[in-house]
A and B are shown apart, each in its own frame.
Chain A
Amino acid sequence: MRSFYFLGRLRSWACMVALACASTGAWAQTAKPANLVDPFEGINRSIYAFNEVLDLAVMRPVAIAYTELLPRWMRNSVTHFFGNLADVWSIPNNALSLRPKATVDSIKRVAINSTVGLLGLVDVASTLDIDKHPADFGLMLNRWGVPSGPFVVVPLLGPRTLIQVVVYPLDWRGNLANHVDDVVLRDLMMAVSFTDLRASYLQAEDVVNAVALDQYSFKRDSYLQRRVYLQNDGESAGSMDDRP
């Protein structure tokens, strides 16, 4: 059963890579690189539009219902629980990136939040000023000089860099929730974590909708900046480009 499931994941991954390649082809035909970081802008925009429609019909209403049904403290616990699982995967990636402080902080966070923080439901570590250092497999490769590649919008999943799409199977296995043997429980956890993530954007998206002149490029530029920020382990001082 499990191997079947993994095959399914593998297939969806292959689809993502194929789509990314297909968009390369589409770009070669139009041959109009509007933007250096976004050579596939044309196809990206259509997938983005498709995702928006789907989001408006399904994901957003579910996220709103989730926000209205569960009290804030419960939703916070859900966020913290999955945040703790993400911290687990950050440990090896920070270690392989040769960042001692980030590695030790991530270990401390998991150790404290999994015990005192009741299996991750409470983020005790943040109140103790132990910083979060999010790191996935793609960021680790970035650290060793592998470029992020162009920006791609993946159907259902949204914005990614090409490298994230390529290493997706590894990041997927790095999430402890995917190692739960009970299929129903595992799928339930997946659904809850996606819903919680989507719900956390509800307030931000009102702001984005109000300030963006072009939502697609606003989100793309924010996403890519955030990736660079994470590559530098949360060092935002890199921006020196705000002089007139």
Chain B
Amino acid sequence: MSFRYFKQLGVVLMLLGGALSAGSVRAQDEAADVFIKRMSTEVLDVIKADKSMRGADIAKVVALVDTRIMPHVDFQRMTASAIGPGWRQATPEQQKRLQEEFKILLVRTYAGALSQISDQVIAMKPLRAAPEDKEVVVRSEVRGSGEPIQLDYRLEKTPGQGSGWRIFNINVMGVWLVETYKSQFAQEINAKGVDGLIESLAARNKTNSKKN
């Protein structure tokens, strides 16, 4: 009898806690740099705590990126801007395929880079943005081995959704990810059309998955 009571009480408290924390997030979204700092520290902590993530088990890191990072990325915007004018000429079906293949490519890459993390820490640089800005650049630095690596993010405000921010471009040492793909994608589309690009991406993903 009493056991059942405690169980019910527990469920009620859990629901209440969930509602409260969800409510507080809605009421006041965190600042963009606070969000980036929290997210990257969480991911780094998971990798540092689990030895199998480093080097050996890439699938585990891919899963981590999928669950912890991808929900905070505006992947459609990223794909669309990397493809440029060709995006609007693509059919919805082609757009969907492009997005899927590009996502597999980037998640794997990112996971590969993360699995090499050992003693690195993230240092945030001062945020230069007004509170009303809809889009901001958050600058950070990865320190730990060799020269520090600059890592910047471009984020858009998504009030009331998730953490309140979504990433749509990443910069490593001054190089924007989206820009780096622009001419490669244009090159491919000019030569072989949108379907050609989808095929090249799929082929790239196939070779990558064979490697490990």
A2 at the interface (CB under 8 A from B): no
| Residue contact B146 to A76, C-beta cutoff 8 Å | yes
A-B contact count (CB 8 A): 107
A1 at the interface (CB under 8 A from B): no
Chain B residues, Cβ within 8 Å of A229: 173-175
Interface positions of B from 96 to 152, Cβ below 8 Å from A? 105-106, 108-109, 112-113, 116, 123, 137, 139, 143, 145-148, 150, 152
Identify which of B178, B183, B201 contacts A242 (C-beta below 8 A). Answer: B178
Beyond A210-B112, A213-B201, A244-B81, is A225–B180 a contact (Cβ under 8 Å)?
yes
| Residue contact B183 to A221, C-beta cutoff 8 Å | yes
- Chain B interface SS verdict (over half): helix
B29 at the interface (CB under 8 A from A): no
- Chain A interface SS verdict (over half): helix
A58 at the interface (CB under 8 A from B): no
Identify which of B137, B180, B201 contacts A237 (C-beta below 8 A). Answer: B137
Would you give the 0/1 interface string for A219-240, flagging 1 where the beta carbon is closer than 8 Å to chain B? 0011001101110001011010
CA distance A75 to B185 in the complex (A): 37
Chain B interface extent, by class: 35 or more
Identify which of A126, A213, A228 contacts B200 (C-beta below 8 A). Answer: A213
* Interface, chain B (partner A; CB < 8 A): 77-78, 80-81, 87-88, 105-106, 108-109, 112-113, 116, 123, 137, 139, 143, 145-148, 150, 152, 154, 168-169, 171, 173-176, 178-180, 182-185, 187-188, 200-201, 204, 208, 211
